[in-house]
Structure 1
Amino acid sequence: MLVDLFLYVLFSDDDVEDISSSESLQYEFVTIEVATSYFSDSNKLGQGGFGAVYKGTLQNGQEIAVKRLSRGSNQGQQEFVNEVILVAKLQHRNLVRLLGFCFEGTEKLLIYEFVPNASLDHFIFDSVKRSYLDWERRYKIIGGTARGILYLHEDSRLRIIHRDLKASNVLLDAEMNPKIADFGMARLFNLDETQGVTSRIVGTYGYMAPEYAMYGQFSVKSDVFSFGVLVLEILSGQKNHSFRNGENVEDLASFAWKNWREGTPSNVIDPILRNSSGSIHEMIRCIHIALLCVQENVANRPTMASVVLMLNSFSHTLAVPSEPAFFMRSGIGEEVWSGTDNTNSRVSDKSVNRVNSVKYSINEASLTDPYPR
């Protein structure tokens, strides 16, 4: 079988067994062609590092989202394998569901449930759509995302670090429930492992913990840091990497920290929320939780289990946060990669800045480790 030959050539025996055991998830290419009207432009939902994403409808009426690997994309090839191996094993209401995959000739497809409200960034950073996200909806998104990450870290039969948690990777279903997506960069751990080190950095600058961005050290606390940044964005309606405070541009975590320390945390809150009926006390508590998550010292950051507890129990006393990590100096809004062998790395031609051998490039698509994990 061509699929088996492809897998055995590229990946380990365990990976092949994992994917082959998911054979019932395989779709024929012609089925997806028909479902997407032959990948028509009218059905195209977007474009990412993996390739284009299309909306489709199966013969039974089920709506699907299809990621189509760009030919010659080493990044996409590894994301394909990573997602099939990982996502097929994961079942949680706050994770996007992988329905199947297709490998036929040069075509590699990932088939997901269709999530009608696109990603969180389409709402939270849009001056018009943001008004639809009242505090009740935003709080539900924060809580659901926290539960999804907790499942990855502790409650699934695998231990997974996502490594690219951000607003564009949180999808919203018809009821505006969050579903974490894009596991192409995720890292699988044994249950007794807690951290790792890599010479190649993958993810999105601004959401990345400093120890990971600068030294390649990652752990469950790396995702906690990203979650804290995401919470601040949800509360403020501002992007962390391009937050503007009057005449100054600074990172959102720094702004939140200064206002929390000065007793004016309400300055961080989206004016739409400040003028609503939502609980200001809940919002300020969420700012406090976010600041605990983005602390520079890894040991001081809470686990996701603690975060979920803090979100659900208002009687739980919160610790005093220390100063967050400040490492956003210039070249705002960049993706990141590093390593000595960058043969397969994809970077923009507009390279800027260098911090501890980490290069930054202006690009909205995440960069992926070019080798299987």
Structure 2
Amino acid sequence: MAIETVPLPLPPSADPSKFKDFGREVKGVNPATLTPEQFEEIKKLLYNHDALLFRNTDLIPEQQYALTKAFDPTSESYGHGNNKTGETKKSILHPDLKTIPRVPQVQLIGNGIVYNHEGLAEAKLKHPSHTTFHKTCVSEEDEAKGVTRFYRWHIDAALYDLSPPKVTTLYGINVPKGGRQTCRYDDGTGDELDVPLGTTAFVSGRTMFDILPKELKSLAVRSKVRYAPHPYVWMAPARAKSTGLGIETEGLEMSKDELPAWEESKVKVFPILWKNPVNGQLSFQVHPCGVSELLIEPLPAGASREGALFPDGAHLTDLGEVRDLLYKMQRPAIAPSLVYPHEWHEKDLVLFHNRGVLHSVVGAFKPDQVRAFHQCNLAASSDPVGPSPEDVTTWA
């Protein structure tokens, strides 16, 4: 049977014109037993559409790992390093992940207590909640009515030492049923989004770049971000914005002296824009919570300076200035009309291009609502590729 694709089911809130190329449901093929020819077709589909959905999939951890690894055959360890998040107690990731013992590249995530699961006698899972990460929280009364928030918009990446994974695979095993929730932005805009319980929300990095005005496109194509050493430990004492898109600047981050031992050579500096390996398009790929500095190249020779920001280049080290500028560039792309909130069903397998989208956990579960997912992504064999000289000339 030939591979078939249909568009993902968009919610009424989505602007269909912005999702023409984003996301496809794949039919007619078993992702656990792809032939080499089928995999090549799936690979092109993923890089062209950024997210693929397979329904009613039976997938054991070994198969999920093999599928994820096929996108980057020389990659080996989990995206944050096998078992490293569990050992780093101060990391904000520590409570959220449990490693499958026989396949340490696959993580068990979810909510509630899971028994006798893939070699784990008992696993206490905690669905990340904005109440433990944001500076402000929705009231208990509103939470009881189903009001919630985006937890943290991010890329799956260690952002220190290891290269960002190319692909993440998410597999729904136990999916609690429940009413819908209202995701509030609480940033003064009045924006809110109707979402299914426990959705994973996605936005396109390509769209994030495309909708920028000219002067911010020029800035993006000329800029790199420097991440803090051990960023998930560094940011742990700080608190996030109400949109989940970055950290409030209150001076709460750990000092470099307080961090675990780190090496300058392992600190990551990435271009703001990452180039798609199949179609060459540029995606705005920044994990705003972990950024500490912004490095801006001057305008290329012959470029118009009219309206240009930092035409002579700059090295921004003031954390508040860096965050404010990134927020100005990224916030438009998480508008309700540009968010795809996936409604999970049991045995859903979602593959997403981790170098082409940002995503966020959303919502909150009650302690007795048991949810179990398998997640796999692998630290890549190389860092992302940024804009070419031609790209800089075009957009700067």
What is the TM-score normalised by the length of structure 1?
Answer: 0.28
Point out the structure with the larger helix share. 1
